[in-house]
A and B are shown apart, each in its own frame.
Chain A
Amino acid sequence: MSRSGWRKRLARAAVILPPYAWLAAFFLLPFVIVLRISLSDPASAQPPYRPLFDWTGGWDALMAFLGALDLENFETLASDSLYWEAAISSVTIALVSTVLLLLIGYPVAYGMARAAPRLRPLLVALVILPFWTSFLIRVYAWIAILKPEGLLNQFLLALGLISDPLTILNTPTAVYIGVVYAYLPFMILPLYAALERLDWTLVEAAQDLGSPPWKAFWTVTLPLSLPGVVAGSLLCFIPIVGEFVVPDLLGGSDTLMIGRTLWSEFFSNRDWPLASAVAVVLLLIVVIPIVFYREIEARRWEAR
């Protein structure tokens, strides 16, 4: 190989290797360890699980070690209805929130796409700003609003709409409000990206041909913005399933979510193997929509 070819290869390696190695060490390897620990037994030691691996024992020790791995933690998860309820309620909350986000986010994104072109960068910046404002603080803000003597109740009482304060904080309603609020920018931005590129002459054509506005929307605008709908829904659904902060601060003790279960298994019960098993289950729930999305994307590319 020529000298310059060799140098090119070296340059390539110098660019690719550092980020590759970093992600392999701190993103991929940790998952292998989670999987490994989810298959081991808890122990009242520090760290609270059986050793990862004993390299000194040779082949026999390796076989004994592999034999000791079991699915006990997953059996615990499957047999205890608490974990089932947490998983199902996480998926339900994420699904309902995603639908609510679509219903609220779509009109806003639509309005942004219809605004004067010189105003649009400002509107986008206004959506992005709260997205970068501390998540914790945005959730925290709702405690003062929703609590029994909070601002919302004071407002409604002053208007005479209610005679007794409503109990919203520490209920599922508060979780929905918090989740929708926190994830709204995630939904608006992809929807706006799709609607902004939309060829409005097609909508005009439909209306010129006598289609009422709702029908033009339903048969032209909505199908054309579908990629944005799918992207926004996934961007919201995936992190909401594993959400911890919102259900912990706004939900009651009866609001079960899998992220919260993982947290308490880890920090309160100190059962690291079980927490790892919960993480594996959560990972599986999250991977399914991603695979599904890639499948749709691949088919769209082929169709072109």
Chain B
Amino acid sequence: MARRFTWFNATSLTLGFAFLYLPILLVVLYSFNASQLVTVWGGFSGRWYGALLRNDALREAAWVTLRVAFLSATVATFLGTLAAVALTRYGRFSGRTLFTGMIYAPMVMPEVITGLSLLLLFVAVGLDRGFWTVTIAHTTFTMCFVTVVVQSRLITFDRSLEEAAMDLGATPLRAFLSVTLPLIAPAVAAGFLLAFTLSMDDLVIASFTSGPGATTLPMRIYSQVRLGVTPEINAAATLLIAFVTLGVTAAALLTKRAAQTQARL
């Protein structure tokens, strides 16, 4: 029997998932630690969340991060969806190879290169570094992820629905907006959430492209971590983990619903 689930399989799954989750759980656990010392358990307490709320610098950084993430994810979703449509619907067009390369390259490019090259561009054209440059940088590296998510949905999409709409007299734009877009909307929403999460999480690219007054949360956390581990950072990290978990769960549910809608048609 080749299909049996063996003890070896069970053990490797348990160990693998324990390795993946224990460090994150420890951060969450120690964010509720009453003790000032990070590695000594002093009882359950919410004091670090209180301290976090009173920390103006962290609050400010969180606000910048949310604004950058929202704006860049919005633009990235628009551009990424267009790119996905171009790749799935317009077969061969001149420059397609370059286009495909530019879609996939940013996903594997070391962040230090993306960050440095964008910064040099901003300096060369005389753009002041700050909120807008971080937003442009994040749009650039997150739109590729949106494209991949939306593209995988468009590939399995039943084109006869679109053709039916056009046979009944709808223009291609009308057919796209009233038939295709509602059906791929969950994938578009999932792409938006992933872009949002990626932007919130980025340290390296933001460090290169940000300027005075636009310090993001990961940059603030990084500079505090360099000084030492603090329970306050554990609390901030826990909030960030909760946020991401909600976002990813929402994205997963949306994708699942999309698959069900498709199956019903």
Contact = CB atoms under 8 A, between A and B. Distances in A.
A136 B39 contact: no
Interface stretch (A23-31, A56-64, A66-74, A81-89): A23-31
A130 B24 contact: yes
A150 B113 CA distance: 34
A263 B30 CA distance: 31
B83 A249 contact: no
B237 A245 contact: no
Interface stretch (A7-15, A156-164, A296-304): A7-15
B204 A244 contact: yes
B244 to A, nearest CB: 5
B110 A238 contact: yes
Interface string B222-237: 1001100100010001
Contacts of B139: 22, 26
Contact of B121 (A26, A116, A234): A26
Interface in B121-144: 121, 123-124, 136-137, 139-140, 143
A242 B80 contact: no
Contacts of A151: 26, 39
A18 interface: yes
Nearest to A202: B2
A193 interface: no
A34 B117 contact: yes
B160 interface: no
Nearest to B113: A279
A134 B233 CA distance: 13
Interface residues of A, number: 90
A244 B112 contact: yes
Contact of A266 (B116, B218, B237): B116
A249 B21 CA distance: 20
Interface string A230-273: 00001100110111110001000000000100110011000010
Interface in A144-173: 144-145, 147, 149-151, 154
Contacts of A111: 5, 8-10, 12-13, 16
B237 A20 contact: no
B225 A249 contact: yes
A128 B252 CA distance: 10
A282 interface: yes
A201 B95 CA distance: 43
B229 A27 contact: no
Contacts of B118: 26, 30
Question: Could you say which of A16, A242, A282 has the most chain B C-beta atoms within 10 Å of its C-beta?
Answer: A16
A114 B90 contact: no
Contact of A33 (B82, B90, B121, B194): B121
Nearest to B236: A137
A123 B12 CA distance: 13
Interface string B55-88: 0000000000000000000000011101101100
A19 interface: yes
B229 A11 contact: no
B26 A34 contact: no
A47 interface: yes
B85 to A, nearest CB: 5
B27 interface: yes
A235 B120 contact: no
A262 B39 contact: no
B162 interface: no
B221 interface: yes
A145 B23 contact: yes
Interface in B156-174: 172-173
Nearest to B221: A136
Interface string B92-128: 0101000100110110111111001110110110000
The 5 closest A-B pairs by CB, nearest first: A242-B110, A30-B117, A108-B16, A107-B12, A141-B23
Interface of B: 1-6, 8-10, 12-13, 15-17, 19-21, 23-24, 26-27, 30, 38-39, 78-80, 82-83, 85-86, 89-90, 93, 95, 99, 102-103, 105-106, 108-113, 116-118, 120-121, 123-124, 136-137, 139-140, 143, 147, 172-173, 194, 197, 200-201, 203-204, 207-208, 218, 221-222, 225-226, 229, 233, 237, 240-241, 244-245, 247-248, 252
Given A110-B12, A263-B112, A282-B113, 19 more contacts: A18-B78, A29-B121, A30-B121, A108-B15, A111-B16, A115-B13, A125-B252, A129-B245, A134-B218, A135-B201, A140-B237, A143-B229, A149-B39, A200-B3, A242-B110, A242-B111, A244-B111, A259-B110, A272-B120
Interface of A: 8, 11-12, 15-16, 18-20, 22-24, 26-31, 33-34, 37, 47, 52, 104-105, 107-108, 110-112, 114-116, 123, 125-130, 132-138, 140-145, 147, 149-151, 154, 181, 184-185, 188, 200-201, 203-204, 207, 216, 234-235, 238-239, 241-245, 249, 259, 262-263, 266-267, 272, 275-276, 279, 282-283, 286, 290
14 contacts: A15-B89, A20-B86, A34-B113, A125-B252, A130-B24, A132-B197, A137-B221, A138-B23, A138-B24, A147-B39, A216-B2, A242-B110, A259-B111, A266-B208
